[in-house]
Amino acid sequence: MSENMSKQNLRELPSVDEVLRSDNLQKCAVSYSKKLVTGIVRDVLAKIRAEIIERQVVDASVENIGTLVKDYLENMLKPSLKKIVNASGVVLHTNLGRAILCDEAIEALKIAAGCPVNLELDLENGERGDRDSHLEDVLCRLTGAEAATVVNNNAAAVFLVLNTLAETKEVIISRGELVEIGGSFRIPAVIQKSGCTLIEVGTTNRTHPSDYISAITPDTALFLKAHTSNYRVIGFTSSVDLKEMVKIGRQYGIPIIEDLGSGSLVDLSQFGLPYEPQVRESIDAGADVVTFSGDKLLGGPQAGIIAGKREYLQRINKNPLKRALRVDKLTIAALEATLKLYLQPDALSKNLPTLRCLTRPVSEIALIADEASRLLKQRLGKDYFIEIEDGESKIGSGSLPEEAIATKVIAIAHKEMPPEKIFKMFLKNNPPILGRVRKEKFLLDMRMIEKAEEVAISS
């Protein structure tokens, strides 16, 4: 487009009022606020103006602009948070909201969301109650801790514990544990932001008891042990286990805090899954305070759980930051219902979706894969190569990073189209289907898929 034409087009751009009066907008089914519509008209006009200046060919008619504004408004009314079909093979996918809640939690959420509840009301005497009372007893019974509380997430839990017990003081941690857990949670940064001085000991691969002992000063507030979650050092390594740290801690009067990350409330090996540290083991080994996530292996809502000795929990609860990091009634409702499933361990792998998914037999996954691949062959036609392959699912969220769980995947390739394009095509489905690309193929992991129809793209 020439400069002259572009100037001409700019002059002919309709005014805000003209667009507002356009048939399209007058006919909107919903009556939006005038302020909202005017704001969107201005934004659309600004975008078209910029496109004209860039000499793009644009339809600047009142009708077209009216349609763009109407589409924008209609899209705004649609939920931004949508159901996704998780065929990525990552069971606890942080980008997909991690754990799927159990039915009991979903029921509890409905009540807490739709009704007044006794969140902070003592039903014995009608006086003010404590929101932790709904969770503390069950948490203590499941972990063996004396006391427990819950905050927004595990990052908040670590932060609050450090800030309460070690602000202005020194926190000793092994260099092998100064890790970054996805999503910008870095142990060293959290230590510093909570007002503590980080004292690193040992080396990346080897830390010995004497390293901790020689770092102790009158300013030492605590020893921190962090689960390295998504990272592992192998080969010539040595670390000081929790029991040994506790022994040193007792000798010098220093509390031990352990950030377990995922942590588990049951022994996962009984389900044929790889070993993951259990919260109870840490409490039994003498950790003074343990923190872990509500929405990782525990299988509940986003939350950070702090369990440990009563004297420390009392101090943590008195920290004014606790008020800023506390959880709402929805989290409490969902977490309470989830935790109660653990009181019936025999039914756990049936009732807790996270565990059900992780323990799903490959034979059952293979059946779904069979059916889904048949549907996909019909839907996609002969330009696609579709095969069932053995694959590996991951737990995700930093749990058991080395461990893959056998699964069945549907591998899809196209005569010409690269797998990245197939990936995007499945994401455009309604509801979007998230698979993954590996080498020349697009893979759909069937572990999380209940009905074959879910992955049968509707194009």
| Residue ranges in contact with ligand PLP by CB under 6 A | 153-155, 158, 181, 185, 226-227, 229, 259, 261-262, 293, 304, 397-398
Contacts of 64 (CB under 8 A, 6+ apart): none
Kindly tell me which of 277 and 391 has the beta carbon lying closer to ligand PLP.
277
Kindly tell me which of 181 and 290 has the beta carbon lying closer to ligand PLP.
181
Integer Cα distance of 281 and 263 in angstroms: 10
Kindly tell me which of 179 and 248 has the beta carbon lying closer to ligand PLP.
179
The one-letter amino acid at 436: R
CB–CB of 89/445 below 8 Å? yes
Q: Angle at Cα 201 formed by Cα 199 and Cα 206, nearest 5°?
A: 155
CB–CB of 389/408 below 8 Å? yes
Integer Cα distance of 56 and 82 in angstroms: 33
Q: Are strands 433-434 and 85-86 parallel, antiparallel or unpaired?
A: parallel
Integer Cα distance of 247 and 223 in angstroms: 12
Smallest distance from ligand PLP to CB 145, Å: 18
Smallest distance from ligand PLP to CB 277, Å: 10
Smallest distance from ligand PLP to CB 384, Å: 37
Smallest distance from ligand PLP to CB 264, Å: 12
Integer Cα distance of 131 and 122 in angstroms: 10
Kindly tell me which of 293 and 393 has the beta carbon lying closer to ligand PLP.
293
* Residue sitting closest to ligand PLP (CB): 261
Strands in 384-396's sheet, in edge-to-edge order, are: 384-396, 399-414, 441-445, 436-438
Kindly tell me which of 136 and 259 has the beta carbon lying closer to ligand PLP.
259
CB–CB of 205/235 below 8 Å? yes
Integer Cα distance of 429 and 456 in angstroms: 9
Smallest distance from ligand PLP to CB 441, Å: 30
Q: Which of 169, 218, 220, 225 is nearest to 196 (CA)?
A: 169
Smallest distance from ligand PLP to CB 225, Å: 10
Smallest distance from ligand PLP to CB 262, Å: 6
Smallest distance from ligand PLP to CB 293, Å: 4
Give rounded-to-5 percent helix, strand, coil for the chain. 45, 20, 35
Smallest distance from ligand PLP to CB 148, Å: 16
Q: Which residue(s) pair with 322 in the sheet?
A: none
Kindly tell me which of 155 and 456 has the beta carbon lying closer to ligand PLP.
155
Kindly tell me which of 92 and 372 has the beta carbon lying closer to ligand PLP.
92
Smallest distance from ligand PLP to CB 297, Å: 10
Kindly tell me which of 108 and 190 has the beta carbon lying closer to ligand PLP.
190
Kindly tell me which of 240 and 369 has the beta carbon lying closer to ligand PLP.
240
Kindly tell me which of 297 and 444 has the beta carbon lying closer to ligand PLP.
297
CB–CB of 208/238 below 8 Å? yes
SS3 329: helix
CB–CB of 405/359 below 8 Å? no
Integer Cα distance of 265 and 261 in angstroms: 12
